[in-house]
Structure 1
Amino acid sequence: MPARLALLLFAALMLALAPRPAAADPLTADVSSHLIAITTGFTGSDVVLFGATDGPGDVVVLVRGPEGLATVRRKGRVAGFWMNVQSVRFERVPAYYAIATTRDIETFTSPTLRLREQFGTSALRFDARRERSPETIELFRDALVRSKTDEGLFVTEAGQVRFLGERLFRTNIRFPANVPTGTYTVDVFLVRDGEVVAAQATPLVVSKIGVGADMADIAHRYAAIYGIIAVLVAGMAGWLAGIIFRRN
């Protein structure tokens, strides 16, 4: 990993220092690893993103996990019992979302640009599956963002993209221990005069490997059999523990 990172950084440096033809891309970026392997005892992982620009500008990095459904429920007291009294189901909710910028994003982007490119959690677009009032959707949307933030899956405070000289830049992307598996997208934007002048997308895969992956695959493919075996193993463990304690 260190050797690969050093090689890529050297390549980015050479690209930044080399004379640029008129048709050269104004933005080039890559990550230190395109695979995050989740193994037994996985505690999270850091990925380094680095790149180069052809001149001045601000850089925005967005990391998004695979999109899916998310249901937000509100509890209330009914006949003295707490139960779900209302729910909203959202589509196109990223499993993970993080942003990093060169400086405060509000200083170099307009609200229109932030909404269009979904810069920041407040600009994420979630689609409610059923017709609801705008107030209800906004209330449940905020609850969803808070929940994802508490889980460490939505990063609401932007990370820092640092320039190393005039063209080279880098940032660290932190993936928590509970990061969902799937194919992620790392989008890098170059912003000048309040507009995106270049963008680049890089894929990144989060995958389980080893025994944990095998067990998860079995549980998914043969859920009923896996459940029966789990119950039998638990019962056997309880029976053996009872025998041992009786002897003691």
Structure 2
Amino acid sequence: MTGTALIGAVALGLALHGLAPSPAKAEPLIADLSEHRVSITTGFVGTDVLLFGATDGEGDVVVVVRGPARRELVRRKNRIGGIWVNDAEMAFDGVPAFYVVAANRAIAEIVPEALRTRHEIGSGYLRVKAEKGADPKEVRQFWSALVRNKELDQLYGKETRRVRFLGPRLFRTKVFFPANVPTGIYKVEVFLLRKGAVVGAQTTPLFISKAGLGAEVFEFAHRNSALYGIMAIAIALAAGWLAGFVFRKA
């Protein structure tokens, strides 16, 4: 089903909902994804996932997409005697493998600082843990370097993406997942705000996993790392011997 058809289905559902009697108050926010699973195959070059939804009236919409949390090690290089060497390093825990924010207006205009801190809206508001006893200035420098590297890899959004309203209630946005996107369970959060307060929120999971022959090799390598290493060395030696034999014959 195309993005236009999906949004049309949402609009039809809202219309039917308005015609039918309902004893309970309608939810202020309804949102969904065009697909809830992304499969990484051998020829995967990245993909867009459409997020669409509707509100019960006017308001601002903020979308936060984050990947599974993991430990990240950041190394700083320094040039000594004409050679670049690792000068220092710092580890961070609880770092989202992927992080993107989208909104229909500038975040600073619609989300107060307290809400940004509470819901971790923006890479500067992520509650990651640095090494104990680390100098705060060093922590900021290493964290800025980590975010910058992830932005270059398209794993973090350099700017806030755009949420577009199609009329007063329907909205949509696209989230791009690059070819190097990590696997795992992703969390897609959608917030509806009015006058700086959250009046509606919804969280939807998104599963990203490897599929096909690449997935089988990946699983085998992780479950049998020693055997996989031996096989890789054996294949490399065999390929080298075969190439040498062919060239000698030539």
Q: C-alpha separation between the residues in 2 aligned to 1:80 and 1:10? A: 62
- Which residue in 2 is equivalent to 1:155? 157
- Which residue in 1 is equivalent to 2:243? 241
- Which residue in 1 is equivalent to 2:185? 183
TM-score, length of structure 1 as denominator length? 0.93
Deviation at 1:26, TM superposition (A): 0.1
Q: C-alpha separation between the residues in 1 aligned to 2:23 and 2:201? A: 19
Instruction: Give CA deviations for 1:38-77 in whole Å, capped at 9, x if unaligned.
Output: 0011000111110000000010111100001001111235
- Which residue in 1 is equivalent to 2:103? 101
- Equivalent position amino acid for 1:67 in 2: A
Q: C-alpha separation between the residues in 2 aligned to 1:92 and 1:149? A: 17
Q: C-alpha separation between the residues in 2 aligned to 1:131 and 1:244? A: 60
Q: C-alpha separation between the residues in 1 aligned to 2:182 and 2:225? A: 20
SS at match of 2:49: strand
Q: How does 1:25-64 map to 2 (within 5 A)?
A: 25-64=27-66
SS at match of 2:218: helix
Q: What is the root-mean-square deviation of aligned Cα atoms in Å?
A: 1.7
Structure 1 range deviating more: 30-39 or 74-83? 74-83
- Which residue in 1 is equivalent to 2:92? 90
Alpha-carbon distance change, 9 to 77 in structure 1, aligned in 2, over 3 angstroms: closer
Residue 170 (1) aligns with residue 172 (2): yes
Deviation at 1:80, TM superposition (A): 6.7
Deviation at 1:117, TM superposition (A): 1.6
Instruction: Give CA deviations for 1:134-169 in whole Å, capped at 9, x if unaligned.
Output: 111111110110111111100121111111111111
Deviation at 1:223, TM superposition (A): 0.4
Q: C-alpha separation between the residues in 2 aligned to 1:153 and 1:187? A: 17
- Equivalent position amino acid for 1:183 in 2: I
Q: C-alpha separation between the residues in 2 aligned to 1:77 and 1:153? A: 28
* Structure 1: gaps spanning 5 or more residues: none
SS at match of 1:227: helix
Q: C-alpha separation between the residues in 2 aligned to 1:16 and 1:138? A: 46
Alpha-carbon distance change, 213 to 179 in structure 1, aligned in 2, over 3 angstroms: same
- Equivalent position amino acid for 1:184 in 2: Y
Deviation at 1:22, TM superposition (A): 5.9
- Which residue in 1 is equivalent to 2:114? 112
Q: Retained in 2: the 8 A contact 1:99–1:155?
A: yes
The count of corresponding residues between Structure 1 and Structure 2 is 246
Deviation at 1:237, TM superposition (A): 0.7
- Equivalent position amino acid for 1:118 in 2: E
Q: C-alpha separation between the residues in 1 aligned to 2:10 and 2:201? A: 17
SS at match of 1:12: helix
TM-score, length of structure 2 as denominator length? 0.92
Q: C-alpha separation between the residues in 2 aligned to 1:61 and 1:124? A: 15
Alpha-carbon distance change, 245 to 102 in structure 1, aligned in 2, over 3 angstroms: same
Q: C-alpha separation between the residues in 1 aligned to 2:132 and 2:85? A: 21
Residue 24 (1) aligns with residue 35 (2): no
Q: C-alpha separation between the residues in 2 aligned to 1:22 and 1:75? A: 60
Q: C-alpha separation between the residues in 1 aligned to 2:166 and 2:38? A: 26
Q: C-alpha separation between the residues in 2 aligned to 1:21 and 1:9? A: 26
Q: C-alpha separation between the residues in 2 aligned to 1:79 and 1:156? A: 35
Q: How does 1:126-145 map to 2 (within 5 A)?
A: 126-145=128-147
Instruction: Give CA deviations for 1:56-104 in whole Å, capped at 9, x if unaligned.
Output: 0010111100001001111235677543232111111000001111011
